[in-house]
Amino acid sequence: MSSELLPIPENRVVVSVGAAGVDFLAAVAAYPKPDDKIRSTSLMVQGGGNAGNTLTCASRLGLSPRLVSKVADDSQGKTILKELEADGVDTSFLVVAEGGNSPFTYIIVDDQTKTRTCIHTPGYPPMQPEELSSSTLVSLLDGARIVYFDGRWHETALVVAKEAIRKNIPILVEAERVREGQDDLLELADYAAWTGAPSVPSALVSMLLRLPKLKFVIVTLGEDGCLMLERSVEEHPQEEEIDVDRLLELLKQKKDDQPTFPTYISSSVAKLRANGIGTVTGRLLVGTAEKIPPSEVIDSTGAGDAFIGAVLYSICANMPVEKMLPFAALVAAACCRAMGARSGLPQRTDPRLASFLSRGDPSLVK
């Protein structure tokens, strides 16, 4: 395989409205019981926030991210800006409040179970839509290939989303959990992703029926990989209906548990039926995660953000979804090999990504 890197996508500007903060990560031998007093095995202070992490990932892969968020003029706010700028994220659209506090999160990483517990303190004062002027909005979206929202600052996000729609810029919405204003954003979205939340394929069918603009929806499932439902743009009236839950079981039977390299299994385009919900025409894909040796798993903080960052890159690079799913899984796995959400995020020159970002095709198993 040639080692020559593919060109960076010509249209690579990614705009985001979302969270940027500071993470205080303390690793412990085991999660404490109530009223325990324990010592950390290691401590790290690092930038965090879904949008901040995702755009850092996207920037390292070669995109040009612009972030809309709000921090305070405290020491943490300065740290947030400095770290993002060092990673190539355009912070000129961030609002800096006089007084208040920047967002921060305490994260307890359990060395034994490799889980993390987050205690988040929101930033104050909150961002207001009027803090993004009309002229700034025009500059923000100039040349943008895609807009991404993590569900924070929803009123400002909706202003940006409506302008993106007017300019025919596609939208990806991450729905880590239910947030205020999320449904309004999802109605405008071309792509949706659920990170760290279990789901069933019938729920994905429900989403495509409720949100006719969606091209695909992805649910990440940690070490179990991901599940994707892609809408078909063509009708296939000759296709018989198939129960989507039954289809998932058939796809799982085809999954090889041995390969360590991420891959995918896809159904053909069919009429997918969810009992009591309805039918959509599309295909279901099961993406596998990289099998990381237990000794290499350090911390899963930010793995979902890394996955979304890789999805953003894939959309900008016009990757087929068959290539996108293993690529995103590989990037997320790299994140899990280091402490914090950003330490393990790979650069586009990382040899582990060569099969996706160099000339030549990765060896995928269908």
Parallel, antiparallel or unpaired: strands 278-287 and 270-274: antiparallel
Task: Check residue 196 and give its pLDDT.
Answer: 59
Question: Domain 13-32+39-190+293-356 belongs to what topology?
Answer: UDP-N-acetylmuramoyl-L-alanine:D-glutamate ligase (3.40.1190)
- Whole-number Cα distances in Å, 268 to 242, 257, 283: 11, 22, 6
Could you read off the pLDDT of 314-333 as tens digits, one per residue?
A: 999 999 999 999 999 999 99
- Residues in contact with 243: Cβ distance below 8 Å, sequence separation at least 6, in sequence order: 273, 274, 275
pLDDT at 365: 36
Helix, strand, coil % (nearest 5) of the chain?
Answer: 30, 25, 40
Non-local CB neighbours of 138 within 8 Å, separated by 6+ positions = none
CA dihedral 362, 13, 207, 49 (to 10 degrees): 100
How many C-beta neighbours within 10 Å does residue 30 have? 11
Report residues of the chain scoring pLDDT below 70: 1-3, 196-199, 235-238, 257-259, 360-366
And the tokens for 63? 């995109």
| Total-model pTM | 0.93
Partner residues linked to 23 by β-bridges: 46, 105
* Rounded Cα distance, 123 and 120, in Å: 10
Spell out the alpha helix ranges (H) of the chain. Answer: 50-61, 75-86, 134-141, 154-166, 182-186, 201-210, 244-254, 303-316, 321-335, 354-357
Note whether 309 and 61 are within 8 A (CB): yes
